[in-house]
Amino acid sequence: MLVSSIEEGTVIDHIPDWQANTVSRVLRLDKLAKMQADVSVVILQNVASKRLGRKDIIKIDRWHVDESDADILGLVFPGITVNYIDEGKVSKYMPRVPDAIEGRLRCPELNCISNTEREPVTTRFATLKKERMLQCQYCDALFDFDKVPDHVRT
């Protein structure tokens, strides 16, 4: 299956097979539609891969995924690679585990102050790297990196 290369944008590679939709959710790609941006997205699923056997790939033409978003993706899929394309040149970005994630996730604890309507709270989660968990800096609730897609703010 042939998909033409892109000159500007982002290619997210080594996504575990059939997980592209989760990546799309974490990156909130649906927001692009609302922005009416001149952006094209190609999602390839279950593609043959030397490293993984099968994998998914997402190509986003004319849009750069934020490094902080790439880092959040890396929590869920540690083997993922993010390639930024500028004027046809590829630079690889290996997501890193940040010390904290601010504003992008919702706390799983419904009774947390950060889930209170009208209180101007910016959510903040510390990463517990060894345990592969996040901890809310307000209510202390813990959740696994794997659960991040369930708690992405829409």
Partner 1 sequence: MGPSVDFLGRDVVSARDFKRDQYDTILRAVEDLEKSRESLDGTLNGKLAALLFFEPSTRTYSSFQIAAEKLGMRVSGFAGPTGSSITKGETLHDTVRMFEGYGADVFIIRHSKMGAARFAAEVSDVPVVSAGDGSREHPTQAMVDLYAIKKAFGRIDGLKVGMLGDLRYGRTSSSLAYALSNFDVEITFIAPEALQMRPEVAHFLTQRGVTPRTAAGLKEVAGSLDVLYVTRIQKERIPDPTEYEKVKGMYEVNLEALRDAKPSLKVLHPLPRVDELSTDIDETNYAQYFVQAAGGLPLRMVLLNLILGGAR
Least distance CB 78 / partner 1 (angstroms): 21
What type of residue sits at position 110?
L
Comparing CA positions, the residue from 65, 122, 68 lying closest to residue 97 is 68
Residue 120 CB, nearest approach to partner 1 (Å): 6
Q: Build a one-symbol-per-residue string for 83-122: x at contacts with partner 1 by CB under 8 A, - elsewhere.
A: --------------------------x-xxxx-x-xxxx-
* DSSP 8-state secondary structure symbol assigned to residue 105: B
Query: From the CA atom positions of the chain, what is the Rg in Å?
Result: 16
Q: Minimum Å distance from CB 130 to partner 1?
A: 10
Here the tokens at position 37 are: 């941006």
Report if residue 4 touches partner 1, rule: CB under 8 A.
Answer: no
Task: Confirm if 149 and 22 have CB atoms less than 8 A apart.
Answer: yes
Which residues of the chain form contacts with partner 1 (CB under 8 A)?
109, 111-114, 116, 118-121, 131, 135-142
